[in-house]
């Protein structure tokens, strides 16, 4: 008997076995309908094998579906990713099929000529229509425009049977990129990098690279040239470029369109589902060469993937925390390995993991020296707030205020960076000291003045700012503590009433369109002072920006999680790197209460190596990543006792293992979210320990009740 293992989208760790009916020819990657209880579900064939007699009665596959199969290497990737992240392989496979499940674009009504039918009355307008149409099939609107007639003329011709209407579902056309459309002249570092990358692709096989160069050194230009060379050598090659944020895609798409004379495909959650379906189908049919996308583009069914680029590879937005928990950068490397392709991790501030791999020689290390052209790195200085404390209820010190004033006089632009949304991060009662928190979540409510509400940034809960303290009932006793971007903008408006100011945060630019509009205004010099969270600190190129002020450089350092120092360094290097990217020199001023902090000293000295060396030494001493491995188990439930019981069961069931420790169970720092109690366990292991095997063995020993959600997070980035 022939049996097919089928990946079904259910939260179970294995594929399901089905009998293959006589005459049905199935192979790995085929999509099938298979019975599950009373229903038929869509699944992907993982394996087909022969078996002689079994004592289990297997249900039979119902049918093979007409939809395109997943390329076998995508199935390899899905299975590998599921094993690595301890996720259900069927759900991973469903992720890979998501684009295909989207609705098709609505068919378009068009008209075309009916052979040998002539109009009864050949008016000039009618002749113009027939002339403009020729042998084409056009929409009535396009035809009316081309012939400069009213739509009534076309309708008349249709009624008379001279033209006929047809419904067409257009296949998305992706014009082939032209490698020679508008090449740049590269400097020698860029040329060497492009050569190494394209040679890596030409040699074939898995080749990982780190493309390392300061912001503005021309990394993008270098990898675009590598893409051109790859396409010249192999016009069917497919290339995937991953970006950490949707907001960054538009600028890159425009650059690619300008460089290659054809726009790439775009793939992320902001793309309309019918369009996503077209992209999925075009990628799977090899009709599309370049895809620019967010991390979920890793699951697209490329048939000839030759090069994967992960831009801003250090960005923690590549980590997906909800649903399937995975790190886009790590999975990009895995996908390239499985495809036998090259992968480039590009950054001005690479993650310690990636630097470690480069130091070990696992990744080829391509370095770009200075900024391209005349642009130079900004001058970075620390402003010691102990010597220049801002006045009460203000946040900008005197030296920073003066620098802003000077910049405005020169008609140049200022970016004030503060990675905090809203007006004030905390609201408290002056009478009783109570801090306002969300009712069902352990987090402080953030005051937003634009909307007049207090918001929980974790769950989205919000309420109007109350008149009375909810704890002691005192009147007018609530005070806003600390600044968010809205409050800094308020101060800026008071200090520089003439300046054109704007706030850039996920509240003021909730979608891609408004983000693009604001970025455009800043690029065009229509904004003098932009107060921004990290949403604007990444990737953008503002030619008139010459001063970056960091309002609170200590902010990220207080968090104290594993990557607090690394993240702060990266974020501030990115933010300060926005200054002086064109012909005018830039400078950055960092306000701090701890100017002696090693992270800030390294930033001011522009000495990334010193920072990396010190941080690596700390990680090594503690055997933490990249010198060790981590995994977290998070339990949550509305039923506190059920969480308690499962965490005790887990603690009892820890398998024996060497060079590995389990910490916890402990209450999570966010012990209550949306009314759910949360507990965490953390596993640390040496690098050579198979932490996934340990977790699988461990979890197989306990029964997880339906009321508790158990999430495994391999290589956690959040410790909340
Ligand atoms: P990065 O990706 O390292 O931040 P970019 O590739 O975006 O750097 O380059 C920074 C700026 O310099 C861009 O405006 C880019 O167009 C320009 N640039 C980089 N390399 C070249 C080149 N070889 N010729 C012309 N302009 C370049």
Domains in the chain (CATH in brackets) are 2-96 (3.40.1440.60), 108-168 (1.10.10), 188-368 (3.40.50.300), 379-420+483-617 (3.40.50.300), 628-714 (3.30.70.600)
Report the separation in Å between the CA atom of 162 and the middle of ligand 1, taken as the mean of its atom positions: 55
How far does the chain reach from its first CA to its final CA, in angstroms?
50
Q: What pLDDT is stored for residue 575 in this prediction?
A: 85
Yes or no: say if 381 and 586 are a contact pair by the CB < 8 Å rule.
Answer: no
DSSP structure string for 131-156: HHHTT--B-HHHHHHHHT--HHHHHH
Residues of the chain with pLDDT > 90: what percent?
A: 78
Q: What integer is the mean pLDDT of 248-273?
A: 93
- Model confidence at 560, pLDDT cuts 50, 70, 90, reads low
Report the separation in Å between the CA atom of 216 and the middle of ligand 1, taken as the mean of its atom positions: 6
From 19, 66, 76, select the one nearest 46 (Cα to Cα).
76
User: Which tokens go with 230?
Assistant: 């790859």
Cis preceding linkage at 574, omega within 30: no
Report the separation in Å between the CA atom of 225 and the middle of ligand 1, taken as the mean of its atom positions: 12
Report the separation in Å between the CA atom of 543 and the middle of ligand 1, taken as the mean of its atom positions: 12
215 pLDDT above the threshold of 90: no
234 pLDDT above the threshold of 90: yes
Q: What integer is the mean pLDDT of 556-564?
A: 82
Counting from 1 in the atom list of ligand 1, the atom nearest the Cα of 190 is 23
Q: What is the pLDDT of residues 481-540, one digit of tens each?
A: 999 999 999 999 999 999 999 999 988 888 778 888 898 999 999 999 999 998 777 767
373 pLDDT above the threshold of 80: no
54 pLDDT above the threshold of 70: no
Q: What pLDDT is stored for residue 539 in this prediction?
A: 67
Ligand 1 neighbourhood includes 580 CB (under 6 angstroms): no
Report the separation in Å between the CA atom of 218 and the middle of ligand 1, taken as the mean of its atom positions: 4
The H or E element spanning position 415 is strand 413-417
User: Which tokens go with 89?
Assistant: 């392989």
Counting from 1 in the atom list of ligand 1, the atom nearest the Cα of 186 is 23
Residue 668 contacts by C-beta under 8 Å, 6 or more apart in sequence?
634, 678, 679, 680, 720
Taking the CA atoms of 24, 28, 30 and 32 in sequence, report the sign of the dihedral they define.
positive
Q: Among 189, 197, 221, 578, which residue has the most ligand 1 atoms within 8 Å of its CB, making it the best to mutate?
A: 221
| Choice between 535 and 669, residue whose per-residue pLDDT is larger | 669
**∠ CA 244-245-246, rounded to 5°:** 135
Q: What is the pLDDT of residues 106-161, one digit of tens each?
A: 888 899 999 888 898 889 999 999 999 998 889 899 999 999 999 999 999 999 99
172 pLDDT above the threshold of 70: no
User: Which tokens go with 398?
Assistant: 């005197």
55 pLDDT above the threshold of 80: no
Ligand 1 neighbourhood includes 158 CB (under 6 angstroms): no
248 pLDDT above the threshold of 80: yes
- Model confidence at 97, pLDDT cuts 50, 70, 90, reads very high
Q: What integer is the mean pLDDT of 180-205?
A: 95
Residues of the chain with pLDDT > 70: what percent?
A: 98
Yes or no: say if 643 and 678 are a contact pair by the CB < 8 Å rule.
Answer: yes
453 pLDDT above the threshold of 90: yes
Ligand 1 neighbourhood includes 215 CB (under 6 angstroms): yes
CA distance 362 to 354: 9
**∠ CA 383-387-392, rounded to 5°:** 95
Q: What is the pLDDT of residues 390-416, one digit of tens each?
A: 999 999 999 999 999 999 999 999 999
The three-state secondary structure class of 264 is: coil
Report the separation in Å between the CA atom of 613 and the middle of ligand 1, taken as the mean of its atom positions: 28
Q: What integer is the mean pLDDT of 308-320?
A: 95
Report the separation in Å between the CA atom of 214 and the middle of ligand 1, taken as the mean of its atom positions: 11
Yes or no: say if 298 and 318 are a contact pair by the CB < 8 Å rule.
Answer: no
Q: What is the overall mean pLDDT for the chain?
A: 92
Q: Among 186, 189, 218, 311, which residue has the most ligand 1 atoms within 8 Å of its CB, making it the best to mutate?
A: 218
Q: Among 185, 191, 192, 220, which residue has the most ligand 1 atoms within 8 Å of its CB, making it the best to mutate?
A: 220
User: Number of C-alpha atoms within 13 angstroms, CB side, residue 400?
Assistant: 34
Which pTM was predicted? 0.88
Q: What pLDDT is stored for residue 167 in this prediction?
A: 85
Q: What pLDDT is stored for residue 170 in this prediction?
A: 66
Report the separation in Å between the CA atom of 372 and the middle of ligand 1, taken as the mean of its atom positions: 6
Residue 496 contacts by C-beta under 8 Å, 6 or more apart in sequence?
404, 405, 408, 528, 529
Q: What is the pLDDT of residues 573-607, one digit of tens each?
A: 888 888 877 778 889 999 999 999 989 999 999 89
| Gyration radius of the chain's alpha carbons | 29
702 pLDDT above the threshold of 80: yes
Ligand 1 neighbourhood includes 523 CB (under 6 angstroms): no
Q: What is the pLDDT of residues 321-358, one digit of tens each?
A: 988 999 999 999 999 999 999 999 999 999 999 999 99
């Amino acid at each position: 008997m022939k049996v097919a293992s089928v990946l079904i989208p259910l939260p179970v760790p294995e594929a399901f076995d089905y009998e293959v009916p006589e005459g049905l020819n199935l192979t790995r990657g085929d999509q099938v309908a298979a019975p599950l209880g009373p229903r038929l579900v869509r699944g992907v064939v993982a394996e087909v094998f022969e078996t002689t007699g079994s004592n289990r009665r297997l249900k039979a596959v119902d049918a093979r579906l007409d939809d395109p199969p997943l390329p076998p290497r995508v199935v390899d990737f899905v299975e590998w990713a599921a094993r690595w992240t301890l996720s259900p392989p069927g759900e991973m496979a469903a992720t890979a099929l998501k684009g295909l499940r989207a609705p098709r674009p609505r068919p378009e009504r068009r008209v075309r000529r009916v052979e040998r039918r002539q109009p009864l009355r050949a008016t000039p307008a009618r002749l113009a229509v027939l002339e403009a149409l020729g042998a084409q099939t056009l929409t009535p609107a396009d035809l009316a425009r081309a012939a400069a007639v009213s739509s009534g003329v076309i309708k008349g011709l249709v009624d008379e049977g001279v033209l006929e209407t047809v419904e067409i579902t257009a296949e998305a056309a992706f014009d082939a990129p032209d490698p020679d459309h508008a090449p740049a002249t590269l400097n020698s570092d860029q040329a060497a990098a492009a050569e190494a990358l394209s040679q890596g692709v030409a040699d074939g096989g898995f080749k990982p690279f780190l493309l390392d160069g300061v912001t503005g050194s021309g990394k993008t230009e270098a990898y675009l040239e590598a893409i051109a060379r790859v396409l010249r050598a192999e016009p069917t090659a497919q290339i995937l470029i991953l970006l950490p944020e949707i907001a960054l895609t538009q600028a890159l798409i425009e650059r690619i369109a300008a460089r290659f004379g054809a726009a790439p495909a775009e793939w992320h959650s902001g793309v309309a589902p019918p369009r996503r379906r077209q992209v999925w189908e075009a990628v799977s049919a090899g009709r599309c060469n370049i895809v620019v996308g967010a991390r979920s583009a890793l699951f697209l069914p490329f048939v000839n993937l030759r090069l994967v680029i992960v831009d801003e590879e250090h960005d923690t937005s590549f980590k997906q925390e909800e649903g399937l928990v995975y790190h886009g950068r790590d999975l990009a490397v895995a996908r390239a390995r499985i495809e036998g392709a090259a992968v480039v991790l590009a950054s001005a501030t690479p993650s310690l993991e990636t630097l470690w791999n480069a130091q070990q020689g696992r990744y080829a290390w391509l370095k770009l020296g200075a900024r391209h052209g005349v642009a130079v790195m900004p001058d970075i200085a620390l402003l010691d707030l102990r010597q220049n404390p801002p006045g009460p209820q203000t946040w900008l010190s005197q030296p920073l205020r003066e620098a802003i004033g000077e910049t405005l006089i020169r008609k140049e632009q200022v970016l004030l960076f503060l990675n905090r949304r809203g007006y004030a991060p905390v609201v408290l009662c002056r009478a009783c000291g109570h801090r306002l928190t969300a009712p069902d979540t352990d987090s402080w409510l953030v005051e937003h003045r634009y909307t007049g509400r207090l918001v929980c940034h974790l769950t989205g809960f919000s309420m109007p700012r109350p008149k009375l303290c909810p704890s002691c009932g005192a009147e007018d006793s609530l005070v806003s503590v600390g600044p968010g971007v809205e409050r800094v903008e308020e101060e800026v408006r008071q200090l520089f009433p003439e300046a054109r100011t704007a706030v850039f945060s996920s509240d003021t630019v909730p979608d891609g369109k408004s983000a693009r509009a604001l970025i455009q205004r800043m690029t065009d010099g229509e904004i003098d002072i932009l107060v921004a969270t990290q949403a604007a600190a990444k990737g953008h190129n503002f030619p008139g920006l010459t001063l970056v002020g960091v309002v609170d450089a200590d902010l990220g350092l207080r968090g104290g999680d594993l990557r607090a120092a690394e993240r702060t360094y990266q974020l501030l290097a990115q933010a300060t790197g926005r200054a002086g990217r064109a012909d005018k020199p830039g400078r950055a001023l960092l306000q701090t209460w701890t100017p002696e902090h090693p992270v800030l000293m390294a930033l001011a000295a522009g000495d990334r190596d010193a920072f990396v060396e010190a941080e690596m030494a700390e990680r090594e001493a503690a055997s933490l990543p990249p010198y060790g491995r981590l995994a977290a188990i998070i339990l949550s439930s509305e039923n506190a006792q059920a969480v308690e019981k499962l965490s005790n069961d887990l603690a009892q069931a820890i398998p024996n293992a060497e060079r590995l420790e389990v910490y916890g169970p402990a209450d999570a720092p966010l012990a209550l979210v949306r009314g759910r109690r949360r507990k965490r366990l953390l596993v640390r292991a040496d690098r050579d320990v198979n932490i996934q095997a340990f977790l699988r063995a461990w979890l197989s020993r306990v029964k997880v009740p339906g009321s508790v959600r158990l999430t495994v997070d391999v290589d956690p980035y959040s410790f909340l």
